[in-house]
Amino acid sequence: VDGPEKAGLSWEQSYLPSFNLGGIFPPLATPFSPTQEVDYAQLEGNLRRYASIPFRGLVVLGSNGEYPYLASHERVEVVSCVRRALPRDRLLLAGSGCESTQATIELTVSMAEAGADVALVVTPCYYRGAMTTAALIHHYTEVGDASPIPVVLYSVPANTGLDLPMEAVITLAQHPNIIGIKDSGGDITRMGLMVHKTRQEDFQVLAGSASFLLASYAVGASGGVCALANVLGDPLCQLDHLCRKGQWQEARDLQHRLIEPNMAVTRRFGIPGLKKAMEWFGYYGGPCRAPLAPLSPAQVEELRSTFSANGWL
C-alpha cells in the first residue's frame, strides 16, 4: 500500500507539496472527426490558441470532454496529447473517474504516467442509492492512497444525480493527497461552508461554472473550472483578475454579461451548443460523439442571439 499508511504516518502528519489551483481552467471539449474519431490535430490547434490566454491550467476529460463516450485508451491518449502541447508551468487536471474504485485507480495511474498533474475524480453514480457517505469516503480514500498524483474531488449533481455529502468532503479534505473539490452544484451556501469547514487543511474549492464564479470567489473559492472558458477564455481570466484585485463593480458588470452565454452552453444546449459556439470564436468545435445530436438551425440561431445580446458577437 502506498501513501501515509505505508510510511507509518497519519493524514495529519504527512502531506504532499501544495498545488496552487487559483485561476481559471477550461474543461476542454474533445474534438471528433466526422467519422467520430478523436481528432488530435484539431485538439492541438485549439491548444495553440489557448496558449495565449492566461489560464492556470487545463482540464481534460471532464463532463465537457464527453469522457463517458471515450474508451480508456482514448482517455489516456488525450492526456498524452495535451501534455505534449502544454507548458510545464500550466497544470493539467485529468478526469479519471470510473464507476468502480479499482478502475478509477488503474486509470488514474495511467493518466499520471501520461503526464497529468492532478486527477479529477467524479463521484461514482450508477448505483446511486448505495453511494452512502461511508461508501464515498472509502472510495475516495482508496483512490487518494493509491494515486501517484494529487486528487481533486468532482461533484456534478446535474449529471450524476448525486451531491457529494458535506460530511464526506470535510473528512476527505484531511487526506494529504486530496487537495480540493470541483463543485458544479451552484449552491453558494454549500461552497462557502466547504471553504470554512476545510480552512485548516491544504484543500481548495473550485467553482464548476462561470455563472456563479464571482459569488464563489466572494465566499472563498480558489478558482473556476468553467465550460464557457472554451469560448470566452480571456473574459473569464479578466473576471478572475478583477475579483483578486477587489474591483467588485467591474467584476459584477462582467459577470452579468457571462451568465446567459454560460447557461446557453451548459444547461440549455449542452456540449453541442458549446462546440457550436467555439466555432464562432475561431476554435474547432465539430461534432459530438453519438448519441449526442447536433443543434437544430433554430437552436443555433437562439444560441447566437444569446451571445450577441450580451455583446460577445
Cell of 249: 463593480
Cis peptide before 291 (omega within 30 of 0): yes
Given 67, 140, 154, 283, which residue is catalytic? Answer: 154
Cα–Cα distance, 152 to 106 (Å, whole number): 16
CB 178 within 8 A of CB 194: no
> Active-site residue 182, yes or no?
yes
Which of these, 52, 59, 55, lies nearest to 24 by C-alpha position?
55
CB 294 within 8 A of CB 273: no
**How many other β-carbons are positioned within 10 Å of the β-carbon of residue 40?**
17
Q: Are strands 23-25 and 57-60 parallel, antiparallel or unpaired?
A: unpaired
Cα–Cα distance, 63 to 230 (Å, whole number): 13
Cα dihedral sign, 276-278-279-283: negative
225 is in an annotated binding site: yes
The Cα-based distances of 41 to 79, 168, 206 in angstroms read: 14, 40, 30
Given 67, 182, 275, 283, which residue is catalytic? Answer: 182
* Binding-site residue positions: 225
* Binding-site residue positions for pyruvate: 225
Residues with catalytic annotation?
154, 182
